[in-house]
Amino acid sequence: MKNYCFFFGLVFILSVSQSVLAKSAAVPVPTVNAQQAPAVQADPANEVSSGDTAWMLVSTALVMLMTPGLALFYGGMVRRKNVLGTIMQSFIALGVITVQWMLIGYSLAFGPDIGHVIGSLKWFGLNGVGLAPDPDYAPTIPHQTYMMFQMMFAVITPALITGAFAERFKFKTYLVFLLLWATFVYDPLAHWVWAGGWIKNLGALDFAGGLVVHVSSGVSALAAAVLIGKRRGYGQEPMPPHNMTMTLLGAALLWFGWFGFNAGSAVASGALATSAFVATHISASAAALSWMFAEWYTRGKPTVLGAASGAVAGLVAITPASGYVSPLAALAIGIIGGVVCFAGIRLKEKFEYDDSLDTVGVHGVGGAWGAIATGLFASSLINPGGNNGLFHGNFSLVDVQLLGVVVTVVYAFAVTWLILKVLDKTMGLRVFGDDELEGLDLSQHGESGYVFEEL
């Protein structure tokens, strides 16, 4: 308990002092929500900025790299017989969601608004999404650049869910699940929070996906873990990660790609992108340390898996706040995020569900903390297009952020549960018997991740 008291005591000091220091760290960049390009920076003629376009193309590539990074991060944590199957679940999302996004996903999420609930299908097949800037989303970059950037968010989000049902999900069912979840969970949430939907209109702040990406995937993972059931032998036999070097490499690639994820959400190359970049790195570093020390204190040794998971937890936590908070606030968010997510992964022991790779504890809990932290630490000195949080005198923002979390949790859990129930009745969700014992690599793909030949 001493370490926990130390962490939270430090956070209290940081939260009080950060309001005083925010002015020195402030980046006075007028902007709107991260996922909406800052209209005040647009050229009156909506001409393409080569600098902004270059940065957004690089950011898109960085976010794309996060999905293979996630594949390695998850792949190293499963048993050897499931490594290819686990990697494939992330990798194939690039193909499936790209096609869905191009045909209907982008239009549903960001297309012309219908009642603040969903986008119309006016942009079906990217009709009308061309190379000219769009005044609402991309005033200084080609509209297709913005579409591609948002596509990479849509790709990685359902891939995150796979950590909850690793080592036991049918691949053919998973392909259908990807399509249904993206269409009925991700796309509506993206519209509500980022594209003129009702949550955005309430004043909720989500710079780069705390609600849309992390809370939604985390709570969907919980629904999947409960409904699909535990792995065969879970709790009776050891199931340690088979390749921690692979997992650490995956975590490093996620950290690297996350700079595009958060800083790219400024939708321009400038001071706001720099501010988000700095906050991202600080939070990840702080959470890696706080998780490591919490684990060291409670379990006796600091593990590589703990440090890697802590870094990811810090990245998750700072995501919704990255464009609205000072470096000192990012430090506080990361410190708390590491400890809170470390506690979050232990929920599965208490409630006895098999969240194989801790998606619920890291993304669900971390995303919720990040959304609430935005309501605490957000400063209009950092981003005049945002709002002040609790520590800057605005008590109402916390309420709005909490409402956003609750709505996301209820909607994502309910719809995911319904999707999985339908799939279970029609296709079956999991592999059983000999297929599960044999492993996903051979039973689902007819391949092995490692082939050891005798000389």
Lowest-confidence segment of 15-19, 65-69, 114-118, 294-298 by average pLDDT = 15-19
- Domain extent at residue 404: 2-441
pLDDT (mean) for 248-261: 98
What are the distances in angstroms from CA 284 to CA 69, 75, 257, 423?
Answer: 16, 21, 12, 37
Is residue 319 helix, strand or coil? coil
pLDDT digits over 260-292, tens only?
999 999 999 999 999 999 999 999 999 999 999
* Domain annotation covers residue 182: yes
Tell whether 60 is covered by a domain. Answer: yes
CA dist., res. 41 & res. 56, Å (int): 15
Q: Quick one: 83 exposed, middle or buried, by C-beta within 10 A (0-12, 13-18, 19+)?
A: buried
Residue 448: inside a domain: no
Give per-residue pLDDT as tens, 136-192.
Answer: 999 999 999 999 999 999 999 999 999 999 999 999 999 999 999 999 999 999 999
Whether 285 maps to a domain, the answer reads yes
pLDDT (tens digit, 9 = 90+) per residue, 342-357? 999 999 989 999 999 9
Give the model's confidence band at 16: pLDDT under 50 very low, under 70 low, under 90 confident, else very high. Answer: very low
> Residue 79 pLDDT > 70, yes or no?
yes
Does pLDDT of 15 surpass 90?
Answer: no
Q: Do 28 and 381 touch, CB atoms closer than 8 A?
A: yes
Helices (H), 101-166: 106-110, 143-161
Would you state the pLDDT for residue 34? 45
Q: What per-residue confidence (pLDDT) applies to 118?
A: 98
Q: Using CA atoms, how far apart are residues 13 and 5, in angstroms rounded to an integer? A: 12
| Helices of type H across 47-142 | 50-75, 83-100, 106-110
pLDDT bracket for residue 5 (50, 70, 90): very low
Query: Would you state the pLDDT for residue 218?
Result: 98
What global pTM score does this model have? Answer: 0.91
How many structural domains does the chain have? 1
Average the pLDDT over 17-25 and give the result.
42
CATH number at residue 435: 1.10.3430.10
* 454 occurs within a structural domain: no
Assess if residue 451 is contained within a domain.
no
Within a domain: residue 430?
yes
In a domain, 455, yes or no: no
> Residue 119: enclosing H or E segment and its boundaries?
strand 118-119
Percent of the chain with pLDDT over 70: 89
